[in-house]
Each structure stands twice: as structure tokens, then as C-alpha cells.
Structure 1
Amino acid sequence: MTTLSFSKGHGTGNDFVLFSDPEGAIDLTPAQIALICDRHFGVGADGVIRAVRSSAIPEGSSVLSEDPTAEWFMDYHNADGTPAEMCGNGIRVFARYLLDGGLADIPAGQTLPVGTRAGVRDVQQSGTGFQVDLGRWRLTDDDPLVRAKGLKVARPGLGIDVGNPHVVVALPDDDELDRLDLGPTPILDPELPDGANVEFVVPFEPLVADGIGRIRMRVHERGSGETLACGTGTAAAALATRFWAGSGAPDNWKVRTPGGTLGVRMFAAEDGEHVALSGPAELVFDGEVTIG
């Protein structure tokens, strides 16, 4: 039996169990992670985040090649125990965990490089909590039809990659969005080899106010089910809506999720257009859990 000291945190209701394992000595199994995330028999969370030094795990070698200063790696697993490339809400909570635990700091005007399976992501403090540069995004060739419980007919989806895969679906009104049952996994036709997070989006009326685009979103996260928010999904939803809206659409967006509102910003970089996500990150309690 192993006793694990942890912190519980969330970003707009997207919640995580975080623990520190600097030297990579703790290797939780998928079943153990799933048990920790179970909301009836465990702590309860959308995922588990291990804070481990990049030098201590195989995945960290490419991270350190990209940026030798990326000391910490966000080892993120979904609620079912499967590893994920990135988590936009999780990385902000991860930054809060490192700062509050004295494991790292972010001097004024600087960023904290964090290793992920999608590469290095830079985090900085912002007025709402933290902002993370999610890196270069891209449209994919994956535009499947999407079926979900509560939708009368399948809807076309738009494939977007922001370090992890997403399919975004536009809906006409709030009533249709509210009727969705996102407990069951939406069906993609054709299926994607690695699956995808699926976002359902409704624009506000008007879509743009004071130069900022505004949408509402719900999401089914691959490996976790419906969550109150998905950071990378929020970015994908804003990118998709801007794509649909055309050349006059803004580069700054506010996205309302069931757990709160997040900010998305698109900006030019040397390697192409990047997308950044901003929002709160809170630690709510510490505890210990004994796992077999």
C-alpha cells in the first residue's frame, strides 16, 4: 500500500489531483489513477497531474532538447488513467501548484516553461490567474460527422489540433446545447485513431462586443467524459468560431463554459500563429490517500 500526499485544484471547475514526485519514483497504474479520480470511491477529479522533473522520465528528453530550462514536466492522465498530450486548465493549476509549493517561481514579466507530451508550454501570471501559450495550432483533415445523445441529426465537426485533438460542432441555439447529454461519448464518423475532445458551441448575440468574440461551450473530454470546462477545448472552440465567422472576426475571445469564463487570444509568432488561454487556477485542499 502507498500513501500519497496530494493537493486538489481546479480551473473553472475542471478539477485535478496533483502530487509531487520530483525524481519519478512513483509509478501509478491506470487503475490506480482511475480509482483516485472516482467521485464515489476516490478523491474525485477529471484527471491526475504528477509534478516530475523532466530529467527523471523518458518523455522529458525531448522537452529538455527543446528548452533546457523546462525543469518541470506536467505528467497528466485523464480520469480513466490514459495519458494525455496537454491540458489547458491543468497546466494553469500545475503552475499554481509549483508556485505555492515553492518548487518554481515566475519573476515579474517572465514565463515558466513547462514540459508536456505536446512539447514545452510557457506560462505567465495574468490578471485572472495564469495565461499559457498553447503554441501553434492547426486545422486538421479530420472533419467527421458527430452524433451525440440529444441531437436529432448528426452535425458536421471541424478538426483542430492545439497539441491535442479536438472536433468542434456549431449549434444554432442555447436550447439545443442545453438538451445535450454528454455523459455518453459522442460518436465520430469516421472515427479518429486516437479519439478527440468534442466541443459544442453556440454564439452569443451579437457575436462580437467591444471587439471581443463571445461564445458558449460544452465539452466531452476524451477519457474523462463531460467536464465543467476544457482549456484546450476552449481554445479550439474559439478558433473554430473565428474560422467560420471569416476574415473580419476578432483575435480575442471570451468563452463561457459551465464552470466559468476563459479568455482566448490568437497572435503571430515566428513559427506561425499561436493561441493563448487565460483564466483562474485555484488549490482548494490538501490530503492523503492510501492506494493499493
Structure 2
Amino acid sequence: MVDPLSNDVPVSLAGASFARVTAGAVPFLISTAATVSEAEAQWLCDGSAGLGAAGVITVSQQGDSVGANTGAWHCVLTGASGAPVPELEPDAALAVAAYLDEAGQLGAGTRLEFGSGEEYVVSRSRGNYKVAGVRWSFAFPQQAQAEASDGTVQAEGVPVARPCLTMTVGAPVSVVALADVSELDRLRLDGRGPQLDSEVLERSSTNFVVPHDPLVDRGIAAVSMRFYHAHDALAGNSGDTASISMAGRRLSREYGSSVAAAVAGSVAFQYWAGSGRDIAEGWAVNQPSALVGVRLEPGSASNASGTAQATGPARVIAKIQLR
């Protein structure tokens, strides 16, 4: 157990216990206690005063599944601002899977319920964790079908504006194809970040993606990406989520996730390269902080919405009791 900042802990949190869990490079605090208040979440997520995290997740086992390693868990995610996040982002689901696994309570079909009756199914997968039920949909389906894009993106390090394809994976994500890995490396995501050409797109996160050559090998398509979260200046300043620093900084990453980015990139390249047909059994998405595997449901190449499952790393790195 770690006892951080014992003299500065809010009275309401004294004695509370949390697990610090990372999914990819994104840190969460997880507890089985009651949902935290706005002020408590703000303190916990503040890297200078509290513990530093993207959000606080409280989990509770449901109904007749209590005591079993299957069944359902209700999850409530509170963001760093203290506001509740109605949709549990996929990275948070992977973090909960790792938390339950360490406690011996993760089964092959453990359900994570959130919002108003929505759920993910999580499980172990070859040393990582899998989340199924990740929903996606094109933000502008008619424009996507007619033009295969719905806007343009200008970014420092890319000489001309590039077309993008936008979808919702919990939050808006715009996907941009780049020419090669050297162009991906030259991309600068600091400063004001990418500029999108509409107010709607300005609120989206932006993925810059390069296909491998060949794109598909033995049924698996492979791409590399970097991504910028419009709602998270810290992730944008670093150019990837792996280098986010906690010390003296508050993480405000309430939207977007590495899993959402991976799903969006897979859907976009399936749409661009598939000509209405599925081109791969699965996708290997190389990110600065993780390798994320994605499987799209059959028929995704010709649909305007669907679901996916994703596999990625998550681990419990500390157990903390506040005093």
C-alpha cells in the first residue's frame, strides 16, 4: 500500500482505497466504494495535489453474480473535471478488466454495464485484455458514402490539407491517411494542434494513419498511427499518450481513447480499401503507447455503423490507501 500526501488528503477521502490501473498509457483510479463527488474526483485526478489520473471508475457487482468470476459489474466513470462521463470509454473497460482479473473476478464473459443499459463484455486474451461491444458510426453517413470523406485537416509537418473521415466511437474521431511513415514521424502535434474545417469537426479527436505495405498479410491488416485528442491538451502537446507527465499537471482526458482511435482507424481503412467488402479478419494497430488489435463485425465495409472488439494492454500498477 502507498500512503501519498497524507497531510493533504480531503477528510471525505480519508481511509479510501484505490487501484491505479493503466490501459495503454492512460491511468485510471478504480474503487469499489461509492461514486466520488465532483470535488473528490478533481482532487484525485490532479497530479499536483492528488494522485493524477484520467478519471475515477467505481465498480459494483450486480445481482446474483456477487461472489462469482462471471456476471455483471456496474461501472461509473467520473472525469478529471468532476463531471460524470455517461459512456464508459473502451480504455476504461480494459482497465476494469485488469482490476477484476487481479482480484480473481474476471471470467470469460464478464459484462461491464454503464449508462442506461449499455454494456461491454471483457475477458483475458493472450496476456492482454479484450473488450467487445465497442460501437461506431459515421458522423456524416451520406457524405461518407458519396465522397469517402467529410472534411479536411491541416497539421504542422504535413504540407497540404488532407481529407478526413469522421465517425463516433464514444466521441467524434476524424481519421486522416498519410503517405508514409516518414510523414507520420514529421507530424507535429504540439501547439494548437490539427485544424479541421468545420465547427463540428473541430470538436473531434484526430487520427493520422499510415497503412503498412502490404496492407493485409495472412488475413491481418496493419497500420501505424498517432493521434491528437481535441479535449486533452496534454496528449496533444506530447503527440502521443505515452509521454503524459503527472507531476504538477491535471489530466483532463475525458474523451477519446487509444482503443477508440484504433477502431476508427480500422473502420476508415476498411472503408477506403475494401470497396464494400471486408478485406481482413483483423487489424493490428501500432500506436506510440501500445499495439491494439481490432476485429470488426462482418459487413462493416458496407455499413454506416457497427460494433467491434479490441484487444490491448492494461495492468494494475499500484494499490493506494489514503490516510
Q: TM-score range by the shorter chain?
A: 0.7 to 0.9
Quote the residue 1:98 is aligned against.
Answer: 100
Residue 276 of structure 1, aligned match among 309, 312, 315: 309
Which residue among 6, 12, 22 is the counterpart of 2:18?
6
Q: Distance in 2 between matches of 1:127 and 1:42?
A: 34
| 1:248-288: CA deviation from partner (whole Å, max 9, x where unpaired) | 6213110011112111001249x974211012221111224
In structure 2, the residue matched to 1:65 is none
Deviation (angstroms), 1:147: 3.0
2:224 aligned with 1:231, yes or no?
Answer: no
Shift in CA distance, 201/9, structure 1 to aligned 2, threshold 3 Å: same
User: What do the CA deviations read for 1:146-176 (whole angstroms, capped 9, x no partner)?
Assistant: 2334333332221122333211111112222
Aligned residues: 268
Indicate whether 1:178 and 2:189 are aligned. no
Confirm or deny: 8 A CA contact 2:158 2:187 kept in the other structure: yes
Q: What is the one-letter code of the residue matched to 1:279?
A: G
Q: Distance in 2 between matches of 1:178 and 1:239?
A: 23
Q: Is residue 244 from structure 1 mapped to residue 242 from structure 2 by the alignment?
A: no
In 2, Cα distance between equivalents of 1:288 and 1:194: 40
Contact 1:37 1:45 (C-alpha < 8 Å) held by counterparts:
yes
Shift of the alpha carbon at 1:77? 4.2
Shift of 1:7: 1.5
Letter of the 1:206 counterpart: P
Q: Which residue identity is paired with 1:133? A: A
- Matching residue of 1:201: 209
- Indicate whether 1:88 and 2:81 are aligned: no
When you count helix as a share of all residues, which structure comes out higher? 2
What residue is the counterpart of 2:73 in the other structure? 72
Report 1:1-292 matches (<5 A).
1=10, 2-3=13-14, 4-21=16-33, 23-24=34-35, 26-29=36-39, 33-52=41-60, 71-81=72-82, 83-84=84-85, 85-101=87-103, 104-106=105-107, 110-117=108-115, 119-141=118-140, 143-183=150-190, 184-192=192-200, 195-225=203-233, 226=235, 227-228=241-242, 230-246=258-274, 247=277, 249-268=279-298, 273-288=306-321
Write the distance in 1 (CA, Å) between the matches of 2:269 and 2:53. Answer: 29
What is the rounded CA distance, in whole Å, between the counterparts of 1:233 and 1:113 in structure 2? 22
Is the 1:5–1:286 contact (alpha carbons within 8 Å) kept by the matching residues of 2? Answer: yes
SS in 2 for 1:192: helix
Cα offset for 1:35?
4.8
- Amino acid in the other structure paired with 2:59: A
TM-aligned CA deviation for residue 12 of structure 1: 2.4
> Using a 3 Å threshold, how does the CA distance of structure 1 residues 130 and 28 change in structure 2: closer, same or farther?
same
Q: Secondary structure at the match of 2:199?
A: coil
The CA deviation at 1:50 is: 2.8
Q: Unmatched 5+ residue regions in structure 1?
A: 56-68
Are 2:155 and 2:188, in contact at CA under 8 Å, matched by a contact in 1? Answer: yes
Alpha carbons of structure 1 residues 52 and 221: separation in structure 2 relative to 1, 3 Å: farther
Aligned to 2:250: none
Q: 1:252 to 1:18 in 2, by over 3 A?
A: same
Instruction: Give the conservation status (yes or no) of the 8 Å contact 1:82–1:223.
Output: no
Name the CA shift for 1:194/1:208 in 2 (closer, same or farther; >3 Å): same
Take 1:207 and 1:160, find their aligned partners in 2: how far apart are those partners? 22
Q: Is the 8 A contact 1:128 1:279 kept in 2?
A: no
d(CA) in 1 for partners of 2:46, 2:25 = 16
The answer as to whether partners of 1:144 and 1:191 remain within 8 angstroms in 2 is: no
Sequence identity (%): 29
Residue 80 of structure 1 deviates from its aligned partner by 4.9
Amino acid at match of 1:112: T
Q: Contact between 1:147 and 1:155, CA under 8 Å: does it hold in 2?
A: yes
**Which protein has the bigger strand share?**
1
Contact 1:147 1:154 in 2 (8 A): yes
Q: Which residue identity does 2:258 align to in structure 1?
A: C
**How far is 1:236 from its partner?**
0.9
User: Given residue 265 of structure 1, which amino acid in structure 2 is its aligned partner?
Assistant: R
Matches of 2:121 and 2:78, distance apart in 1:
20
Structure 2: where are the runs of 5+ without partners? 1-9, 64-69, 142-149, 236-240, 243-256
- 1:40 Cα deviation from its structure 2 partner: 4.8
- Provide the rounded CA distance (Å) in 1 between the counterparts of 2:96 and 2:307: 21
Is the radius of gyration larger for structure 1 or structure 2? 2
